[in-house]
Structure formats: structure tokens, C-alpha cells
Structure 1
Amino acid sequence: MKQHKLEANHINVGYDKKEVIDDLSVTLPDGKISVIIGANACGKSTLLKTYARLLQPKKGEILLDGKNIHLENTKELAKVIGLLPQSPIAPEGIRVSDLVARGRFPHQGFMSSLTEKDYEAIQEALEMMKIADLADRSIDELSGGQRQRVWIAMALAQQTDILFLDEPTTYLDITYQIEILDLLKELNETKKTTIIMVLHDINLSARYADHIIALKDGDLVAEGNPCNIVNEDLIKTVFNLNCSVISDPISHTPLIIPIGKYPRKEEGCQI
């Protein structure tokens, strides 16, 4: 994978007259996994979409290797940046392999058919997501976790250096969440793909992220390695949640223990 510098430079982003992000500047670390966290409606997905050129800043700019991405050729940009949005919709009855093949569009010429290189990229993506055995199945027949792996495989077939994923684990049970995040971690480690995600689960974010970007009301509160920035004060500021932060005994990353109104049982569990 090529090295890239992707940065938000004093961006303001909003919808109609509502401003969501105000004067934000963040450079994404190359070859790492970054996770954007924050409470609902704080601007997480807005920031991700702006980085991926789905939204244009009202002020400031998104720079890829020093160039404004809104001035770049769309098809050429799609060879560098891939995006898996929230709740993508597949054509009814489409086969898994045909959906994954759509990721090769940026690499194809006008009216050209799939080449040997395209088929190799498709097969590699299927194997990386461990769904090669599902290639001839209709996506309508698959479970939620299997479908999510198919969508990620389509993004992988695009063979981009940078991959954005907007809440890739939403609506999945914990087994599928861990499975998807493990596969993305493997992709990052083997291909050095720069991955940027929006996640709701702060503990999974801390476990899988190399770099966390914490937002509140469209403002950057903190960014950095989870071990350096995730603490009780950050969680209180970002989520308005009282908590205790301990070391995860498995990953040795921050583990958030929420403190609610009724945190104690009269008799504890013997485990």
C-alpha cells in the first residue's frame, strides 16, 4: 500500500443552515486503525462522510497528499479511498460474487468486462472475509454478519489504500461484531490499509483502535492512542457518563465500567 496523508484542515460542515462540525482539524495516521467516537448526533458520521468526499465542507478543506479531494478526478480518487456506508442496500437476488465484483468499477474502462486481475482481486477479497464458499449464494439468503462481510469484501475488491466504514458492527450480535473487527484488524496488519471507522462501543473502540478521535457537539475533544486519552474525564466530557476505567485483562487497553444510579447488588456474583 502507498503512504498517504489525509487531513481535515479547519473544516466547517453542516446540512442546510445547521452547522454540525466547527473549525475541526485532524490528520489521520497512515497505515493505522482510527475510530471516531462520541455521543449520538455529535458529528461522527458527518466527519467520516466529509473525509470520504460525500460531503463538502462549507469552510476549510480535506487534503489528500496536499491536494483538495474535491478537485480530484472521482474515478482516480476511488482507487485510493473506499467507503462502506451505514445500511447499504443490495439489488434483490444478486449473487455474492457479483456484488463483490462491483468494487472493481474504478479499475475498469468504459464498457470493458472483468479482467483476470479483476477476478483475482474479487477472489482475494472473498477469501480475506472468509466467504469464498458463499460466492454463488444470493445475498438475500445470508445472515446479517455474512452480509456485512460481503459488503466489506466489495470494498476490499476496490483495493484502496484507505478504507472508511460507518458503523460496520451496528445491528450485529457480539459474536459477529468481534468477527468483523478481527477481520479488519487482520486486513490492517497484513495489507497496511489505513482504516477509519465510526463505532458506538467505546470498549471495542479502545481495543481495536490505534488512534481515537473523540467528538462532542462537532468539536474535537481529544485524539490519540486509546491508552493515552481514554479516562474517566474524557468519558464524562464526551458521553456525560460517570465511569471507572480499568485495564482490559485481555487486550490491556482501557476498559470502561459505567456507574449508574444503582451500580451495586446486595450480594455479588461468585465467578
Structure 2
Amino acid sequence: MKPAHVLKAENLYAGYEKKNVLQDVTITIPSNKISVIIGGNGCGKSTLLKTMARLIKPTSGQVLLDGKPLHQFPTKQLARVLGYLPQSPVVPEGITVADLVGRGRFPHHSFLKGWTAKDDEAISEAMEIMNISDLADCYLDELSGGQRQRVWIAMALAQQTDILFLDEPTTYLDITYQVEILDMLTDLNRKRGTTIVLVLHDINLSARYADYIFAFQKGKLVAEGTPSEVISSQLIKDVFGLDCTVIQDPVSLSPSIVPIGRHHNQLVKSW
């Protein structure tokens, strides 16, 4: 089981070019759980991940890891605890799957410590978890979108961090690959206790796979809790501007939204 690190933000303001996207956000990430951040486009989901991964410097407020400000950690030390996979990673030219996954071992190397058997084990294990061992010698640009995404996640897993941030890891993938990747991440969390934080667009998949949900609107945290505590027709209306009804997912028993389109709404009223 991974250590139960405490990662939190306090009164966080952050953004780009002197314009704050996040507005006074205070948030604590549940340790050893899967958390999902939801909200409309431009609400600050990705900005929050980048700020809590120390890729964006806060305008004010702070991010703390185990009570210590994030900026006080040496880069490699932080990278051994916290991993981050962006929305659209840049694919290096002419790189094989095994080589890319191996780049996840960078934080564990130093001038005095070169490549070890432990690195080989971590790479093999990460590829096995993501079911890409048979693709080790393939070039990344030869793979399908779903396969490529599994390789990127395997690279993050090879880093062997206790906390893993994934920004929209299922975007542009068909539903089969989405469920497959989320199942694999759930297995990782359940078996190792890795704290996983995801940004997802699909509300129903978010509710099915999350232990905890954070809902954002216009840079502010407007709701947090278990899926059953957060997902309601009113919240979906407030955050996404969507009329819906909420039912129980017959498989996971989590809340599931059913959108009510304008024409369907007229039919409902006519009944």
C-alpha cells in the first residue's frame, strides 16, 4: 500500500498571463482514493492539476504536500512522489514503446546511480499493468490512439509515484478504450493504493469510477463528496447548464444522468 500523503491547496489563485482562472480554491485530495474533477470547459480543471503538480506558479495561496509548501521540494524528490500526465503529450519522433515508458524512470536516477535492474522491473511491470508488453519494440507513431494512451499511462506508472494526476486520459477514445483504461487505473488504485486524480468529461463514467468528486464552475469549487453526494440534477444544471434526471446505474449503483433535450422536455410536459 502506498503511503498516505496529504496533498492540499489553500486559498489558491492561479492562471495565465496575470489572469486568474482559479478563484480562492481550498481543496484536499483524498489519500489512496480515486478522485475525479468535473466541470464545464474553461472552469479551471486543468489549471488546478497543473498548479498542484507545480507546473503553474500560484498567484496567491499555496499547495502543500505533507504540510510542506510544494515549491520547497527538489524537482526529482517531488517527481518521485507526484506524477502528471497532460492532455496531449508531445510524441517524440522515432521512439519505441519501451524507450518511452523508460523515460518515467528519470526521477530515480542521479550522477552516482545509473540504470539498474529495478528500473527494468518497473518498466516491465508498468507495461504489464497497461497490457502493452507485446508492443515494447513498436514505434509509438504506429499505434492506435487507445494503444498510445496506454503507453503514456505506463510511462507515468513506471515513475512509481504515490500520487498520479491524469488530465483527460480518455478524451478522443471510443467507449471500449475509455472503460478499459479506467478499469486498469482502478486496479492500480485498489492493489497499490495509488492516489489517482483524474479530469474527465463524461459525468457518468466519473460517477462510476470515482471515490470522490470535485465539481468546479468558473474557477471555483462548488461541490465535493462521494458521487451520490455530489451528482444531482440541480448541480448538473448549475455547472453544465443541462437539464437532466438522475437515475441509478444498474451495474455500479452509482448515480447516472439522463439528459433531457428541449424536444424531449416538451414531450414530458405533454404527458
- Using the size of structure 1 for normalisation, the TM-score is 0.96
Taking the aligned partners of 2:62 and 2:39, their CA distance within structure 1 comes to 22
User: 2:14 is matched with which residue?
Assistant: 13
Taking the aligned partners of 1:188 and 1:85, their CA distance within structure 2 comes to 19
Taking the aligned partners of 2:9 and 2:226, their CA distance within structure 1 comes to 19
Output one character per residue of 1:182-214: Cα deviation in whole Å (capped at 9) or x when no partner: 110111001100000100000000000001000
User: 2:226 is matched with which residue?
Assistant: 225
Distance 1:112 1:91, change over 3 A: farther
SS of residue matched to 1:3 = coil
Q: Offset of 1:90 from its aligned partner?
A: 2.0
User: 2:216 is matched with which residue?
Assistant: 215
- Using the size of structure 2 for normalisation, the TM-score is 0.96
SS of residue matched to 1:244 = strand
Give aligned pairs, total.
266
Q: Offset of 1:19 from its aligned partner?
A: 1.4
User: 1:179 is matched with which residue?
Assistant: 180
* Most deviating of 121-130 and 109-118: 109-118
Residue 115 of structure 2 aligns with an amino acid whose one-letter code is L
User: 2:41 is matched with which residue?
Assistant: 40
Residue 9 of structure 2 aligns with an amino acid whose one-letter code is A
Taking the aligned partners of 1:35 and 1:96, their CA distance within structure 2 comes to 28
SS of residue matched to 1:149 = helix
Q: Hey, which bits of structure 1, 4+ residues long, moved more than 6 A? A: none
SS of residue matched to 2:176 = helix
Query: What aligned pairs does 1:53-72 form with structure 2 within 5 A after superposition?
Result: 53-72=54-73
Query: What aligned pairs does 1:72-91 form with structure 2 within 5 A after superposition?
Result: 72-91=73-92
Residue 101 of structure 1 aligns with an amino acid whose one-letter code is G
Taking the aligned partners of 1:221 and 1:265, their CA distance within structure 2 comes to 30
Query: What aligned pairs does 1:1-271 form with structure 2 within 5 A after superposition?
Result: 1-110=2-111, 113-263=114-264
Q: Offset of 1:113 from its aligned partner?
A: 3.7
Q: Is the Cα–Cα contact under 8 Å of residues 20 and 59 in structure 2 kept in the other structure?
A: no
User: 1:269 is matched with which residue?
Assistant: none
SS of residue matched to 1:53 = coil
Taking the aligned partners of 1:19 and 1:60, their CA distance within structure 2 comes to 12
Residue 44 of structure 2 aligns with an amino acid whose one-letter code is G
Alignment RMSD, CA only? 1.3
Taking the aligned partners of 2:70 and 2:112, their CA distance within structure 1 comes to 26
Taking the aligned partners of 1:190 and 1:265, their CA distance within structure 2 comes to 48
Taking the aligned partners of 2:36 and 2:168, their CA distance within structure 1 comes to 10
SS of residue matched to 1:30 = coil
Q: Offset of 1:70 from its aligned partner?
A: 0.9
Q: What percent identity do the matched residue pairs reach? A: 63
Unaligned runs of 5+ in 2: none
Q: Offset of 1:71 from its aligned partner?
A: 1.4
